[in-house]
């Protein structure tokens, strides 16, 4: 089995020293890569900027990228051959319309930035997904969590979506633990209580493999 897995943040450059980004560490995605490899899958881990070292497991090939455009290009290159797609990266929705060639100097009391929309990696690839491929997305929400996650699942042609809530203590960015809810297209829900991200990853991989076997 071949797995495409995205992880970590993306950084969208503003000038040679600054960028727009987010607090994702990549810990959940890297844990998933290890869990899939333990099951014998060949994993292509497309990682945004992360302080984590490349996984040592020989079944995991790590591709380092920085921007959303680079992540899309790297994911697109292997998506057609992958049996399972897992989009765990926190991809920036927007990027600066212009990248300054020199460091932007402080001037005036305000600074206005024009942002343009990035490619939606998961949604764009979802339009190309074949019936035998299985896609899993992640959603990090702060309000109306279940409704937003269900909407994202349908819009992006996912088979499952993993929901994080920033309102759950010990879950989300920066933690070694996580608490998630998994939804499918029928609205069925599986809850994973707070535990290490490695344990969450093993549980998610078991669920993904079981659902894929039933579906296909």
For the segment 158-171, what is each residue's pLDDT rounded down to a tens digit? 999 999 877 777 77
Measured torsion, CA atoms of residues 91, 24, 78, 183, in degrees rounded to the nearest 10: -80
Of 22, 57, 157, 178, the catalytic one is 22
Class of domain 2-96+112-215: alpha beta
**Predicted pLDDT of residue 169:** 75
- Tokens 């992640």 found at: 138
Helices (H), 67-196: 68-79, 121-126, 145-155
**Predicted pLDDT of residue 216:** 63
pTM summary value: 0.94
What residues in the chain have per-residue pLDDT under 50?
A: none
**Predicted pLDDT of residue 173:** 77
- Active site annotation includes 191: no
d(CA 98, CA 13): 9
14 closest CA partner among 110, 106, 104: 104
61 closest CA partner among 8, 2, 120: 2
């Amino acid at each position: 089995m071949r797995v495409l897995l995205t992880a970590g943040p993306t950084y969208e450059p503003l000038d040679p020293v600054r960028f727009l980004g987010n607090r994702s560490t990549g810990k959940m995605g890297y844990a998933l890569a290890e869990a899939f490899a333990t099951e014998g899958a060949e994993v292509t881990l497309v990682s945004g900027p992360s302080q984590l070292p490349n996984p040592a497991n020989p079944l995991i090939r790590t591709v380092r990228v920085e921007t959303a455009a680079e992540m899309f290009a790297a994911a697109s290159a292997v998506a057609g051959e992958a049996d399972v797609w897992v989009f765990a990266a926190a991809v920036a929705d927007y990027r600066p319309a212009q990248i300054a060639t020199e460091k932007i100097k402080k001037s005036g009391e305000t600074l206005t930035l024009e942002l343009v929309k990035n490619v939606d990696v998961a949604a764009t690839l979802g339009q190309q997904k074949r019936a035998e491929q299985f896609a899993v997305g992640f959603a990090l929400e702060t309000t109306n969590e279940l409704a937003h996650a269900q909407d994202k699942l349908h819009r992006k042609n996912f088979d499952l979506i993993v929901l994080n809530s920033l309102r759950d203590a010990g879950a989300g960015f920066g933690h070694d633990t996580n608490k998630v809810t998994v939804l499918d297209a029928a609205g069925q829900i599986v809850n994973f209580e707070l535990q290490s991200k490695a344990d969450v990853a093993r549980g998610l991989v078991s669920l993904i493999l079981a659902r894929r076997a039933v579906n296909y």
